[in-house]
Structure 1
Amino acid sequence: MKATKMIKAERQNLILNIMNKEKKIIASDLSIRLNVSEDTIRRDLNELDEKGLLKRVHSGAIKIGPAVVDFNTREDLNLEEKIRLAKKAVHYIKTDDVVIIDGGTTNYQLVKQLPKDIRCTVISNSLPILTLLNEYPNVTVVMLGGTLFKQSMVSVGYEVIRQLESIHADIYFMGVANIDEEIGITVVTLEECQTKQKMLHVAAKTIALVTKEKLGTVSNYIIGKVGDITYLITDD
């Protein structure tokens, strides 16, 4: 009995190693690679899903996205990559555009790349971004207020959605936590999901700046499909 458990533990560790490298695994392929039955692989995947180590999907499993940590902790992570993406994205903002900028540390870097003399309207639910916009004299700032999601420092929920009913934006810069070509764009909480869905709905086009560790990852609440994004900006 003890030897069987050790074999299963080693197999599951190997599955996790494969997952970390490939981000997505197919049960039928894995059974061939590990020389065990598909039923055994499915049981392993179900157990690993219950432990929160991966996300079970119909054909196999997918990597869970980065853990949600507070804004200040994330601000300096992958900073050079975020700045590169922000420099690519800032050129999409034109004079007199009405722009929704969602929360997130990559979008925070986007605002930092704005020319100081730019004239536009920025609508945001992000406290750090709203504070930063105070440095731009020609930017009209519209603050969306609602329930504060403290870890991400953004307002979410009914009040934000209600305010967005009166807005038609030229661009929405979506903050992305997890994105996978099959599952779509996902986040951890339902309120954040619903808020982002509304922002997506009221904008003519949507741009997402996505650092590479978020690619091929998934969480619980689906905002939409990858095809809902007009431009996806990433190093990959």
Structure 2
Amino acid sequence: MKAERQNIILDILNKEKKIIAKDISTKLNVSEDTIRRDLNELDEKGLLKRVHSGAIKRGPKAVDFSIREDVNIEEKIRLAKKAVKYIKPDSVILIDGGTTNYQLIKQIPKDFSCIIITNSIPIISLLKYYPNIKVLSLGGFLHKQSLVNIGYETIKQLESIHADVYFMGISHIDSEIGITIVTLEECQTKQKMIEVSSEVISMVTKDKLETVSNFVVGKTGIITNLVLDD
């Protein structure tokens, strides 16, 4: 029955992160056209993301920063403790939004000296407690959900900057499609941040692995160091 078949598809997707229509049709002994119709219906319901050969798992829904802040908090802290070693004294650090990047700032010693450039309002507020860190705040249009400044003005300001390292917040990452994000403006801002940085480091929680959204920031190869939990 269709309902049972679609539940099996979702169970396989949750375990394997992605599915191939041809393989599922063989496994369930139905035609590929039947599986494609199932995948299209499940995509319309927002239960998976349809791609050419099959489907992949959707990542976490875009919600307000304040709601995301405490989600998977222990995992985010573990990632931040691993990633803080990449912040070198007196270097120029570019860091954008995200609740994991927010936790990274909390791992920096209070007497640390460097320059941090950011478009994240919560991170700017947190950095006031670090007397030896110079902070350059990037302007632009405020994305109210993520609390980051994005768009033309942000990109224009980045043209006069070269950072030693860029800590890029990631919403969705897939081994084939790459790094994706919900809005075009955020995508373009991240692309510029990558362009003006020598290295790109990203911390990724497990719920974001092998998921995809609408706008492609770039392939996974643009990341110099990918920090994952054990």
Q: TM-score range by the shorter chain?
A: over 0.9
Q: Quote the Cα distance in structure 2 between the aligned partners of 1:200 and 1:49.
A: 31
Which residue, out of 143, 147, 157, partners 1:163? 157
1:8-19 matches, within 5 Å, as 8-19=2-13
Matched, 1:218 2:212: yes
Instruction: Indicate which of 73, 90, 100 corresponds to 2:94.
Output: 100
1:190 is matched with: 184
Instruction: Please tell me whether residue 82 in structure 1 is matched to residue 76 in structure 2.
Output: yes
In 2: Cα distance, 1:197 partner to 1:62 partner:
24
Amino acid in structure 2 at the alignment position of 1:187: I
1:21 aligns with one of 8, 15, 18: 15
Structure 2 distance, partners of 1:146, 1:179, is 26
Deviation at 1:27, TM superposition (A): 0.8
User: How far has the Cα of 1:77 moved from its partner?
Assistant: 0.9
Residue equivalent to 1:4: none
Offset, 1:13:
1.9
Give the aligned CA root-mean-square deviation in angstroms. 0.9
- Which residue is 2:109 aligned to? 115
Q: Residues of 1 paired with 2:178 and 2:164: CA distance? A: 23
SS of the counterpart of 2:187? helix
- Aligned mates of 1:114, 1:78 — CA distance in 2: 20
**Length-normalised TM-score, structure 2:** 0.98
Task: Return the offset for 1:145.
Answer: 1.0
AA paired with 1:215? L
Is the counterpart of residue 34 in structure 1 residue 28 in structure 2?
yes
State the percentage of identical aligned residues: 71
Q: Any idea what SS the aligned residue of 2:111 has? A: coil
Q: CA deviation at 1:149?
A: 0.9
Counterpart of 1:83 in 2: which secondary structure?
helix
Q: Give the drift of 1:50.
A: 2.3
1:146 equivalenced with 2:148 (yes/no) = no
Q: What are structure 1's unaligned runs of at least 5 residues?
A: 1-6
- Distance in 1, Cα, partners of 2:115 & 2:184: 28
Paired residue type of 1:42: R
User: Match for 1:137 among 131, 146, 169?
Assistant: 131
What code does the residue aligned with 1:108 have? Answer: Y
Query: How far did residue 52 of structure 1 move?
Result: 2.0
How many angstroms apart in 1 are the aligned matches of 2:60 and 2:159? Answer: 31
After TM superposition, the runs of 4+ consecutive aligned structure 1 residues lying more than 6 A away are: none
Aligned length: 230
- Between stretches 13-22 and 226-235, larger displacement belongs to 13-22
Aligned to 2:172: 178
Which one of the candidate residues 58, 64, 88 is aligned to 1:64? Answer: 58
For 1:155 and 1:213, the matched residues in 2 are separated by 25
Kindly state the Cα deviation for residue 51 of structure 1 after the two structures are TM-superposed: 2.3
Q: 1:15, 1:233 → 2: CA distance?
A: 30
Residue 115 of structure 2 aligns with an amino acid whose one-letter code is T
**Alignment match, 1:52:** 46
Higher mean displacement: 124-133 or 35-44: 35-44
Structure 2: which 5+ runs fail to align?
Answer: none
Q: Deviation of residue 204 (structure 1)?
A: 0.2
